Structure 1
Amino acid sequence: MENYIIETEQLALRELTMDDLHNWHQILSDQETMQYYPNTYDIDKTRSWIDWNLDNYSKYGFGLWAIILKETNQFIGDCGITMQNIYGDGNLFPETGYHINKNFWRKGYASQAAKACLRYSFENLAFDEIFSYQKWTNVPSRKVAEKIGMSLRKEYADEKNTKTSVYSITRAEFYNKS
């Protein structure tokens, strides 16, 4: 039996491990999946991604978790909370992020996992607001943010994304919408 952190009707989330390297690399090395990132990830960068999350689990008690499709026990991506420098000013804020294998897009899994992570955050962590940020052209991620109840808070120019869109939801807003 896996040690799941979060479960929904269709999904189970658990900590990433190096055993996920091959499946995770398939996602992060895919051009279409990574179209809003500067580059795809080679195997070493994929390993570093897992190491970063292992460090986050140790440092914060949370990070991005592997998403397992319960019906098939298949690894389909990640979702969770990480501390991010959202505004580029050095201050860290909790952000929900997700990456889904393109073969499982448009099935509601990103929204389902992200909403479960919001609930987990507000029930188990001391944050009063959770953020989501992305390159302004990343319409699918913007739609997920809106679908889980987040509102656009700010857009700003930056070197990496040309323009970044910042969404968030407060604890009060989450419980008022739930």
Structure 2
Amino acid sequence: MYHIKTRRLGLRPWKEEDRDSFARLNGDSESMKYFPGTMNREASDDLVDRINNHFDTHGYGYYAVDELETGSFIGFVGFGRPRFEAFFTPCIEIGWRNYKDFWGKGYATESALACLDHGFDHLGLEEIYAMTSLYNKPSERVMQKIGMSRVGEFDHPLILKGHRLERHVLYRIKKSTQL
């Protein structure tokens, strides 16, 4: 069932029953405070469809993440390809999103480290990027904890000019520098 397991987490393909939990996550204003807005059910379901299509097309994507002790769906982690042009694209990015109830437990770091290992050791990736808004210091700390180096800042082209989350920080890790 799990493609990747850590001490506390299981990373797996998406199941149809994940859609309800994922819609609640994407509709929760606190869990989504570092994103331009929450998502309605239709947008959340569309994202699951895009994630599944990405797996089918590229052989990788964002995994659903379960807390092993409880079996609870807590969010997602994995790889994607930015759908915009910037000085660092095309590239592979790692990303994560967890319910706020699971913040501060080290789950993002634990799952991201497992994904980096998978990306470098099994997918043959040579470098992986991560990005977040300048305000999202918790995610930036995860990037640092997993061994990524700060590349710089950029204005995210898919976020409205002048929006408080427009400015993003960019991190990168190369296979040769992996922890």
Tell me which amino acid in the other structure corresponds to 2:34: Y
Matching residue of 1:171:
175
Which 5+ residue runs of structure 1 have no aligned equivalent? none
Of 31, 54, 61, 1:63 maps to 61
Tell me which amino acid in the other structure corresponds to 1:31: S
Alpha-carbon spacing, 1:99–1:147, altered in 2? closer, same or farther (3 Å): same
Matching residue of 2:18:
20
Alignment partners' CA distance in 2, 1:89 and 1:147: 25
TM-score normalized by the length of structure 2:
0.91
- Listed one character per residue, the Cα deviations across residues 88-133 of structure 1 (whole Å, up to 9, x for unaligned) are 3693211110011111110000000000000000001121111101
Alignment partners' CA distance in 1, 2:142 and 2:84: 18
Q: Which moves more between the two structures, 24-33 or 78-87?
A: 78-87
TM-score normalized by the length of structure 1:
0.92
Matching residue of 2:162:
none
Moved over 6 A (4+): none
Q: Helix, strand or coil for the counterpart of 1:93?
A: coil
Tell me which amino acid in the other structure corresponds to 1:164: H
The 8 Å contact of residues 135 and 165 in structure 1, kept in 2 or not, is answered as yes
Alignment partners' CA distance in 2, 1:101 and 1:42: 16
Identity %: 30
Matching residue of 1:96:
94
The 8 Å contact of residues 17 and 50 in structure 1, kept in 2 or not, is answered as no
Matching residue of 2:130:
132
- Superposition deviation, residue 77 in structure 1: 0.5
Matching residue of 2:150:
152
Alignment partners' CA distance in 2, 1:17 and 1:90: 32
Q: Helix, strand or coil for the counterpart of 2:115?
A: helix
Alignment partners' CA distance in 2, 1:96 and 1:42: 24
Alignment partners' CA distance in 2, 1:16 and 1:170: 28
Alignment partners' CA distance in 1, 2:71 and 2:55: 23
Alignment partners' CA distance in 1, 2:144 and 2:69: 27
Task: Say whether 1:48 aligns with 2:52.
Answer: no
Q: Helix, strand or coil for the counterpart of 2:17?
A: helix
Alignment partners' CA distance in 2, 1:151 and 1:11: 25
Structure with the bigger percentage of strand: 1
